[in-house]
C-alpha cells in the first residue's frame, strides 16, 4: 500500500469518481455539507482521504471527491493506493467527532448544552424560520468554535438556560438562546424578575406572560413522552412571544404556534414597569 498527499482539483476529483463502481449510495446532504466547508475555508488535511484498492477501484472518499467537484475548489487530500478490498468493511465505522466533543476538548464547560445552544443560535441568526433538524440544520465544528468566539456571552446564558429548564421544562437550548438574544438586544432591561417568575410562578396573576409561558412548557412536558429534535425551535418561539409581551407589559393568556409562523424578534418597546432607571 502506498500513500501520498496530492492537491486534488475538481477535474481530477471528477475523473476519480468514474472509478467509483462499487460503493455505498452517495448522500447528497453530506456532499453539500462538505462542499460548504470547503467554500468557507474550513478544509484541513488529515490522514483521512481517498483510497483505491488493488485494481484501482475507489473504495473510500466518494463524498470528499463529490464535494470538491461541487465546491469547484482544489484541496489537499491524502491518497492511498493498493488498499486491500477486504478493508472496505471496516472503513468509516468509528464514531464521528461531535460538536460536544470539539468544545469539551477546547476546555469548555457544559459542552453538550453549549454545542446545542450554538447550533440553535446559528440557525436563529441565519435561518430562523427553517427546520431545526435534518441535513440543512447541520453546523460544522469549525462554525461552532467561530460562533463561540463571536458570542462568548452564550457561556453564561447556558447557566440561565439550565435553571429555566429545571423550573418549567423548557429546553435548555431554547432558554439559553432566548436569554442570550434578549439580554444582548435589551441591556436596559433587568431580567431577574423574568427568570424568577418563569422558574417559580410565585405570586403571578393569570395573564402574566411568565405564568403563561411556564404553564405552556409544563403542559408540553406532561403531554410529550418523546422529545423531537426541533422542539427547541417551538419553545424558543413561545419564549420570545412571552418575553415580548412581558417587556411591553401586555397580558397574554394563551401561547400558540400558527402554521408557518415566523420566529419573533426581540421587541424594542418597553412598558413603564421595565423602563430604564
Which residue, of 68, 90, 112, is where some domain finishes? 90
pLDDT at 227 over 80: no
pLDDT at 223 over 80: no
Per-residue model confidence (pLDDT) at position 206: 95
Whether residue 166 sits in one domain with residue 45 = no
Whether residue 77 sits in one domain with residue 104 = no
Whether residue 139 sits in one domain with residue 218 = yes
Query: Could you tell me if 168 and 217 are in contact, meaning their C-beta atoms sit under 8 angstroms apart?
Result: yes
Q: How many independent structural domains does the chain possess?
A: 2
Whether residue 259 sits in one domain with residue 181 = yes
Whether residue 224 sits in one domain with residue 148 = yes
Pairwise CA distance, residues 211 & 217, whole Å: 10
Whether residue 109 sits in one domain with residue 84 = no
Which residue, of 90, 115, 139, is where some domain finishes? 90
Whether residue 251 sits in one domain with residue 130 = yes
Whether residue 239 sits in one domain with residue 109 = yes
Q: Which pLDDT tens digit goes with each residue over 22-41? A: 777 788 888 998 999 999 99
Domain that holds residue 43: 2-90
Whether residue 251 sits in one domain with residue 223 = yes
Whether residue 253 sits in one domain with residue 125 = yes
- Strand ranges, E, within the chain: 2-8, 50-53, 58-60, 75-83
Whether residue 247 sits in one domain with residue 134 = yes
- Looking at the chain, how many residues does it have? 277
Per-residue model confidence (pLDDT) at position 155: 97
* pLDDT range class, residue 10, cuts 50, 70, 90: very high
Per-residue model confidence (pLDDT) at position 274: 65
Q: Which pLDDT tens digit goes with each residue over 198-212? A: 999 999 999 999 999
Question: Residue 14 is part of a domain; what is its CATH number?
Answer: 3.90.1530
Which residue, of 90, 125, 144, is where some domain finishes? 90
Pairwise CA distance, residues 29 & 144, whole Å: 19
* pLDDT range class, residue 195, cuts 50, 70, 90: very high
Pairwise CA distance, residues 80 & 44, whole Å: 17
State the residue for C-alpha cell 426541533: 230
Q: Helix 62-71 crosses helix 10-17 at what angle (to 10 degrees)?
A: 140
Whether residue 77 sits in one domain with residue 164 = no
pLDDT at 86 over 80: no
Rounded to 5°, angle at Cα 101 from 157 and 8: 120
Per-residue model confidence (pLDDT) at position 224: 55
Amino acid at each position: 500500500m502506498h500513500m501520498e498527499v496530492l492537491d486534488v482539483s475538481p477535474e481530477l476529483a471528477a475523473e476519480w469518481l468514474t472509478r467509483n463502481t462499487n460503493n455505498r449510495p452517495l448522500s447528497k446532504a453530506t456532499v453539500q455539507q462538505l462542499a460548504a466547508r470547503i467554500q468557507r475555508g474550513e478544509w484541513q488535511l488529515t490522514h483521512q482521504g481517498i483510497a483505491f484498492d488493488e485494481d484501482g477501484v475507489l473504495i473510500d472518499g466518494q463524498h470528499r471527491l463529490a464535494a470538491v467537484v461541487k465546491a469547484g475548489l482544489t484541496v489537499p487530500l491524502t491518497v492511498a493506493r493498493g488498499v486491500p478490498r477486504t478493508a472496505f468493511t471496516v472503513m468509516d465505522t468509528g464514531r464521528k467527532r461531535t460538536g460536544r466533543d470539539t468544545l469539551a476538548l477546547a476546555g469548555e464547560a457544559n459542552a453538550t448544552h453549549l454545542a446545542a445552544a450554538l447550533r440553535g443560535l446559528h440557525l436563529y441568526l441565519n435561518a430562523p424560520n427553517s427546520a431545526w433538524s435534518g441535513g440543512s440544520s447541520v453546523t460544522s465544528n469549525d462554525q461552532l468554535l467561530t460562533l463561540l468566539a463571536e458570542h462568548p456571552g452564550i457561556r453564561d446564558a447556558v447557566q440561565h438556560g439550565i435553571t429555566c429548564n429545571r423550573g418549567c421544562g423548557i429546553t435548555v437550548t431554547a432558554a439559553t438562546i432566548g436569554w442570550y438574544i434578549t439580554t444582548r438586544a435589551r441591556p436596559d432591561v433587568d431580567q431577574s424578575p423574568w427568570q424568577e417568575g418563569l422558574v417559580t410562578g410565585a405570586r403571578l396573576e393569570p395573564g402574566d406572560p411568565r405564568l403563561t409561558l411556564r404553564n405552556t412548557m409544563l403542559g408540553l412536558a406532561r403531554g410529550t413522552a418523546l422529545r423531537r429534535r426541533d422542539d427547541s425551535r417551538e419553545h424558543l418561539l413561545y419564549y420570545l412571544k412571552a418575553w415580548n409581551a412581558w417587556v411591553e407589559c401586555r397580558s397574554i393568556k394563551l401561547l400558540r404556534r400558527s402554521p408557518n409562523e415566523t420566529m419573533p424578534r426581540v421587541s424594542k418597546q418597553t412598558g413603564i414597569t421595565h423602563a430604564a432607571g
